[in-house]
Amino acid sequence: MIARELITDTIPPLKPSDSGTRALEWMREFRTTHLPLVEKGKFIGLVTEDDILDFNHPDQPLANYNRQFYRPMVRDTNHLYEVMRVAAEIRSPLIPVLDEDDNYEGLITMMGLLQHFAQANGMRDEGGILIIRLKGLKDYILSDIARLVEANNAYVLSSYMRNVPNSTDIRLTLKVSTTEMQHIVATLERFEYDVEAWFREEQSPDELKDRYDSLMNYLNI
């Protein structure tokens, strides 16, 4: 999945002829603190509530604002993971998307990005979680671990790694397709993998979906 497939059309861009008052009205309407400013198809920057409140004449056009607007962006061909990396670094609930010629294509919301990331990584699927500690990259061969999971009639839905603080070790987290975790844990330990923790989700798919939707609604407040 790439950035242009994540674009939402629910939040329109501002124009330089729009006033600061109009910008604040739209921010309240769309429940956001930022809005993109676009002139003749080119992205100027993100206008924030603070920008407007700092301006002495909010009834005047944004073109009269003598300041540099915050300008985060991703390219429309960037992969989902690159978009996630940018999202973790910027201070905005919106991520503008530009093409190779710097034309404004649209924007990605943090909420939409989270939902797409959850779908792409199997987070909405019923299953279990395994946390395995590895002695650095030399012990990391995902195909070997996946084979041991598959030997127990399951498969790996998603995985990610993090370095263990103050150590050369790696903590590998796996989402697997079953809630019956005991046999998988026993198999991994038999092959000398250090399983630090495991969790199983015993709810029905409908209950899991309700939990996920409740989380999305909470984050949208």
Q: What is the pLDDT of residue 160?
A: 83
Q: What is the pLDDT of residue 45?
A: 94
Distance between CA atoms of residues 84 and 190, nearest Å: 36
- Identify the CATH assignment for 3-114 out of 3.30.565.10, 3.40.640.10, 3.10.580.10, 3.40.50.1820: 3.10.580.10
pLDDT digits (tens, 9 = 90+) for 138-157: 778 889 999 999 999 999 98
Distance between CA atoms of residues 190 and 173, nearest Å: 19
How far, in whole angstroms, is CA 32 from its chain's centroid?
Answer: 17
Q: Exposed, middle or buried by CB within 10 Å (0-12, 13-18, 19+), for 28?
A: exposed
Distance between CA atoms of residues 22 and 132, nearest Å: 52
Show me where the domains of the chain are located: 3-114, 128-206
- Torsion angle in degrees (nearest 10) through CA of 43, 49, 54, 59: 80
3-class secondary structure, 8:
strand
Q: What is the pLDDT of residue 47?
A: 94
Q: Does domain 128-206 have CATH number 3.30.70.260?
A: yes
Q: What is the pLDDT of residue 221?
A: 43
pLDDT digits (tens, 9 = 90+) for 172-181: 999 899 988 9
Q: In a structure prediction context, what are the per-residue pLDDT tens digits for the chain, which is 221 residues long?
A: 799 999 998 999 999 999 999 999 999 999 999 999 999 999 999 999 999 988 888 899 999 988 889 999 999 999 988 998 898 888 889 999 999 999 999 999 988 888 777 666 555 667 888 999 998 887 788 899 999 999 999 999 888 888 988 888 999 999 899 988 999 999 999 999 999 998 876 545 555 455 555 545 544 54
* Lookup result for tokens 């676009």: 38
Distance between CA atoms of residues 112 and 4, nearest Å: 12
Q: Are strands 94-98 and 194-200 parallel, antiparallel or unpaired?
A: unpaired
Write the DSSP assignment of 15-81 as a string of letters: -TTSBHHHHHHHHHHHT-SEEEEEETTEEEEEEEHHHHHH-S-TTSBGGG--SPPB---EETT-BHH
